[in-house]
Protein backbone atom coordinates (compact mmCIF):
# COMPACT_ATOMS: atom_id res chain seq x y z
CA UNK A 1 0.00 0.00 0.00
CA UNK A 2 2.79 2.41 0.86
CA UNK A 3 4.53 1.73 -2.44
CA UNK A 4 1.26 2.49 -4.24
CA UNK A 5 0.99 5.86 -2.46
CA UNK A 6 4.62 6.67 -3.25
CA UNK A 7 4.02 5.83 -6.93
CA UNK A 8 0.93 8.03 -7.05
CA UNK A 9 2.79 10.92 -5.42
CA UNK A 10 5.66 10.56 -7.88
CA UNK A 11 3.26 10.50 -10.79
CA UNK A 12 1.46 13.58 -9.49
CA UNK A 13 4.78 15.36 -9.02
CA UNK A 14 5.68 14.49 -12.61
CA UNK A 15 2.33 15.81 -13.79
CA UNK A 16 2.98 19.10 -12.02
CA UNK A 17 6.37 19.37 -13.71
CA UNK A 18 4.84 18.55 -17.09
CA UNK A 19 2.18 21.21 -16.49
CA UNK A 20 4.88 23.70 -15.54
CA UNK A 21 6.40 23.63 -19.02
CA UNK A 22 3.42 25.35 -20.70
CA UNK A 23 3.33 27.96 -17.92
CA UNK A 24 7.05 28.59 -18.42
CA UNK A 25 6.54 28.88 -22.17
CA UNK A 26 3.58 31.22 -21.72
CA UNK A 27 5.47 33.54 -19.36
CA UNK A 28 8.48 33.66 -21.67
CA UNK A 29 6.22 34.31 -24.68
CA UNK A 30 4.49 37.13 -22.81
CA UNK A 31 7.85 38.73 -21.98
CA UNK A 32 9.03 38.37 -25.57
CA UNK A 33 5.81 39.89 -26.87
CA UNK A 34 6.21 42.91 -24.62
CA UNK A 35 9.88 43.21 -25.57
CA UNK A 36 9.20 43.01 -29.30
CA UNK A 37 6.36 45.49 -28.84
CA UNK A 38 8.95 47.87 -27.33
CA UNK A 39 7.14 47.98 -24.00
CA UNK A 40 10.46 47.60 -22.19
CA UNK A 41 9.18 48.39 -18.69
CA UNK A 42 6.53 45.67 -18.91
CA UNK A 43 8.98 43.28 -20.58
CA UNK A 44 11.53 43.86 -17.83
CA UNK A 45 8.91 43.14 -15.19
CA UNK A 46 7.87 39.93 -16.97
CA UNK A 47 11.47 38.80 -17.49
CA UNK A 48 12.09 39.39 -13.79
CA UNK A 49 9.04 37.29 -12.92
CA UNK A 50 10.31 34.57 -15.25
CA UNK A 51 13.78 34.59 -13.67
CA UNK A 52 12.26 34.36 -10.20
CA UNK A 53 9.88 31.56 -11.15
CA UNK A 54 12.26 29.54 -13.36
CA UNK A 55 15.88 30.23 -12.27
CA UNK A 56 17.07 26.91 -13.72
CA UNK A 57 15.33 27.26 -17.07
CA UNK A 58 17.23 26.68 -20.29
CA UNK A 59 16.07 30.16 -21.29
CA UNK A 60 17.60 32.00 -18.32
CA UNK A 61 20.59 33.25 -20.35
CA UNK A 62 18.22 34.73 -22.93
CA UNK A 63 16.15 36.28 -20.15
CA UNK A 64 19.21 37.87 -18.56
CA UNK A 65 20.34 39.27 -21.90
CA UNK A 66 16.90 40.73 -22.64
CA UNK A 67 16.76 42.24 -19.15
CA UNK A 68 20.02 44.08 -19.80
CA UNK A 69 18.74 45.33 -23.16
CA UNK A 70 15.57 46.56 -21.47
CA UNK A 71 17.63 48.43 -18.89
CA UNK A 72 19.61 50.15 -21.60
CA UNK A 73 16.48 51.03 -23.51
CA UNK A 74 14.93 52.47 -20.37
CA UNK A 75 18.05 54.48 -19.57
CA UNK A 76 18.48 52.87 -16.18
CA UNK A 77 22.08 51.69 -16.51
CA UNK A 78 23.70 55.07 -16.03
CA UNK A 79 21.50 55.92 -13.08
CA UNK A 80 22.11 52.54 -11.50
CA UNK A 81 25.86 53.06 -11.86
CA UNK A 82 25.61 56.49 -10.24
CA UNK A 83 23.57 55.16 -7.33
CA UNK A 84 25.24 51.83 -6.61
CA UNK A 85 28.69 52.12 -8.16
CA UNK A 86 30.37 50.64 -11.19
CA UNK A 87 28.62 47.47 -12.29
CA UNK A 88 31.02 46.36 -15.03
CA UNK A 89 33.17 44.36 -12.61
CA UNK A 90 30.08 42.72 -11.13
CA UNK A 91 28.79 41.81 -14.59
CA UNK A 92 32.15 40.34 -15.60
CA UNK A 93 31.96 38.09 -12.53
CA UNK A 94 28.35 37.18 -13.33
CA UNK A 95 27.08 38.99 -10.23
CA UNK A 96 23.84 40.91 -10.65
CA UNK A 97 22.76 41.25 -7.02
CA UNK A 98 23.54 44.94 -6.56
CA UNK A 99 21.75 45.89 -9.76
CA UNK A 100 18.79 43.67 -8.87
CA UNK A 101 18.53 45.26 -5.41
CA UNK A 102 18.54 48.73 -6.91
CA UNK A 103 15.94 47.75 -9.51
CA UNK A 104 13.71 46.22 -6.85
CA UNK A 105 13.83 49.36 -4.73
CA UNK A 106 13.59 51.99 -7.44
CA UNK A 107 11.73 50.35 -10.31
CA UNK A 108 9.92 47.10 -9.55
CA UNK A 109 8.14 48.07 -6.34
CA UNK A 110 6.82 51.43 -7.59
CA UNK A 111 6.58 50.26 -11.21
CA UNK A 112 2.90 49.36 -11.09
CA UNK A 113 1.89 52.86 -10.10
CA UNK A 114 3.06 54.78 -13.17
CA UNK A 115 3.53 54.41 -16.90
CA UNK A 116 7.09 53.99 -18.19
CA UNK A 117 7.67 57.69 -18.90
CA UNK A 118 6.53 58.81 -15.46
CA UNK A 119 8.44 56.02 -13.73
CA UNK A 120 11.61 56.98 -15.61
CA UNK A 121 11.17 60.62 -14.61
CA UNK A 122 10.68 59.65 -10.97
CA UNK A 123 13.66 57.28 -10.93
CA UNK A 124 16.14 59.33 -12.96
CA UNK A 125 14.77 62.85 -12.56
CA UNK A 126 14.61 63.18 -16.36
CA UNK A 127 12.13 62.29 -19.09
CA UNK A 128 12.76 59.31 -21.37
CA UNK A 129 15.44 60.11 -23.90
CA UNK A 130 17.79 58.34 -26.27
CA UNK A 131 20.68 60.66 -25.36
CA UNK A 132 22.14 58.68 -22.40
CA UNK A 133 22.29 55.51 -24.50
CA UNK A 134 23.93 57.33 -27.41
CA UNK A 135 26.46 58.93 -25.03
CA UNK A 136 27.26 55.53 -23.52
CA UNK A 137 27.67 53.90 -26.93
CA UNK A 138 29.88 56.75 -28.20
CA UNK A 139 32.04 56.54 -25.09
CA UNK A 140 32.40 52.79 -25.38
CA UNK A 141 32.70 52.33 -29.14
CA UNK A 142 33.86 55.76 -30.36
CA UNK A 143 37.53 55.21 -29.57
CA UNK A 144 37.39 51.66 -30.87
CA UNK A 145 35.97 52.66 -34.25
CA UNK A 146 37.44 56.19 -34.29
CA UNK A 147 34.06 57.88 -34.52
Q: Residue 81, by phi and psi: left (phi above 0), alpha (psi -120 to 50) or beta?
A: alpha
pLDDT for 3? 39
CB 117 within 8 A of CB 127: yes
pLDDT for 84? 60
pTM: 0.44
Spacing of C-alpha 56 from chain mean position: 15
Mean pLDDT of the chain: 76
Domain ranges of the chain: 2-145
Residues 82-111: tens digit of each pLDDT: 656 667 788 888 888 877 887 887 788 887
Residues 14-65: tens digit of each pLDDT: 443 444 467 999 999 999 999 899 888 899 899 989 988 998 888 887 887 7
Q: Which residues contact 67 (CB under 8 A, 6 or more apart)?
A: 44, 47, 48, 51
Amino acid sequence: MISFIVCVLLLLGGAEQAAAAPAENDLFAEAESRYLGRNYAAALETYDAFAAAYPLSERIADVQYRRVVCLYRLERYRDAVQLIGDLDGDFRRGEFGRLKGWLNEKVHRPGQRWRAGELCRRVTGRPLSHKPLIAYLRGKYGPLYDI
